[in-house]
């Protein structure tokens, strides 16, 4: 698909990956409408941090993906939709699972129903590597069984199934995009890399963390958003699920040790029981297979882990960025 001269809607545009995707699309010359979560402060989330010249090129729509009326209004003049809006924190999903069904499943239904009714030309629905659960084999390809090891994961599996059903039932131009563990500037405070970096940069010498035995396939955010854009161009991926991964893994212990060595070698790790997930809920191994995206698109990994961590530390080292994070508490 030729994506140029198409108007693009990005939901979740105020969040971590969404804001980077909007910025990349703007830099590449696309016309972008950013769907941000309505709030009384008129905050655009991380889009507020973009330079004014970039903000001026973005059309902002404030709404809530749980409301089908606002969703339909936002999508009316767009041809391509990147649907990233979601609730993502796993601990929060333990005590508030209804909200995950409302936002992740019903929100996705609202997007794809409006896309069907409006004749949207391309829809990318964002999944997560969490839906695979602990790897039964590696590397994890798109045929790996889905294991709902948290209410969050279950809600994303439900959203993926809804999207797949609309492709099969109505021949809609949908692709389910499944990024592995994305990190970088602007990442949520509840994620492990910002948790470690913010504690270190705030001078803490005891770094509070949970279980460090799990492994993850760590993907720098600029590589993630490039994957989204390349997948949107690929007609051969319509009706498919598609991983974005770097085809490797690193233990959280090794990653934590690396960050401590880079920022403050005197710091020590202290295990915090509140940060440990229930044993059957913890995903102990994620190692993604990226052969499908490489076969069907021009995407490739452009950042090593060392380069990505360096850029991430540099961003957090800016005091204006660091003060956005509450390093002294456990961010659920």
Answer yes or no: are the C-beta atoms of 244 and 219 closer than 8 Å. Answer: yes
Instruction: Provide the phi-psi class of 243: left if phi over 0, else alpha when psi is between -120 and 50, else beta.
Output: beta
What's residue 18's pLDDT? 98
pLDDT, one tens digit per residue, over 217-250 is 999 999 999 999 999 999 999 999 999 999 999 9
Q: Two tokens at 265?
A: 């070698």
Which residues make beta-bridge pairs with 175? 124
Summarised one tens digit per residue, pLDDT across range 258-301 is: 999 999 999 999 999 999 999 999 999 999 999 999 999 999 99
Assigned CATH for 7-184+220-248+287-303? 3.40.50.720
Express as a percent the part of the chain with pLDDT over 70. 100
Averaged confidence pLDDT in the chain: 97
List pLDDT tens digits, range 121-152: 999 999 999 999 999 999 999 999 999 999 99
Distance CA 134, CA 139 (A): 12
Confidence of residue 332 (pLDDT cuts 50, 70, 90): confident
59-92 per-position pLDDT tens digit: 999 999 999 999 999 999 999 999 999 999 999 9
Give the DSSP per-residue string, 185-233: TT--TTSHHHHHHHHHHTT-SEEEE-----EE-EEEHHHHHHHHHHHHH
**Distance separating alpha carbons of residues 47 and 56, to the nearest angstrom:** 11
pLDDT of res. 66: 98
pTM of this structure: 0.98
Position 160 scores a pLDDT of 98
- Count CB neighbours of 324 within 10 A: 14
Rounded-to-5 percentages of helix, strand, coil across the chain: 45, 15, 40
């Amino acid at each position: 698909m030729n994506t140029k001269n198409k108007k693009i809607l990005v939901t979740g545009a105020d969040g971590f990956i969404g804001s980077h995707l909007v910025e990349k699309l703007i830099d590449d010359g696309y016309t972008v409408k950013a769907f941000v979560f309505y709030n009384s402060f008129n905050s655009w989330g991380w889009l507020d941090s973009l330079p004014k010249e970039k903000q001026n090129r973005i059309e902002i729509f404030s709404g809530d993906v749980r409301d089908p009326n606002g969703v339909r209004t936002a999508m009316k003049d767009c041809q391509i939709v990147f649907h990233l809006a979601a609730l993502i924190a796993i601990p929060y999903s333990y005590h508030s699972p209804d909200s995950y069904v409302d936002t992740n499943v019903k929100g996705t239904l609202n997007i794809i129903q409006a896309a069907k009714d409006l004749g949207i030309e391309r829809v990318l629905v964002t999944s997560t590597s969490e839906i695979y659960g602990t790897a039964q084999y590696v590397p994890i390809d798109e045929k790996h069984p889905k294991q709902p090891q948290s209410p969050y994961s279950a809600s994303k599996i439900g959203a993926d199934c809804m999207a797949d059903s609309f492709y099969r039932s109505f021949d809609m131009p949908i692709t389910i995009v499944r990024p592995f563990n994305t990190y970088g500037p602007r990442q949520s405070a509840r994620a492990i890399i910002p948790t470690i970096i913010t504690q270190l940069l705030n001078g803490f010498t005891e770094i509070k963390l949970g279980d460090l035995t799990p492994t993850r396939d760590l993907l720098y955010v600029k590589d993630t958003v490039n994957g989204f854009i390349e997948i949107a161009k690929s007609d051969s991926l319509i009706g498919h699920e598609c991983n974005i991964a770097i085809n490797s893994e690193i233990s959280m212990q090794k990653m934590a040790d690396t960050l401590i060595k880079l920022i403050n070698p005197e710091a020590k790790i202290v295990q915090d029981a509140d940060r440990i997930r229930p044993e059957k809920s913890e995903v102990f191994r994620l190692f993604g297979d990226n052969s499908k995206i490489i076969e069907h698109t021009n995407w490739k990994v452009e950042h090593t882990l060392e380069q990505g961590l360096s850029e991430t530390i540099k961003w957090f080292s800016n005091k204006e960025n660091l003060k956005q994070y509450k390093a002294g508490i456990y961010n659920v």
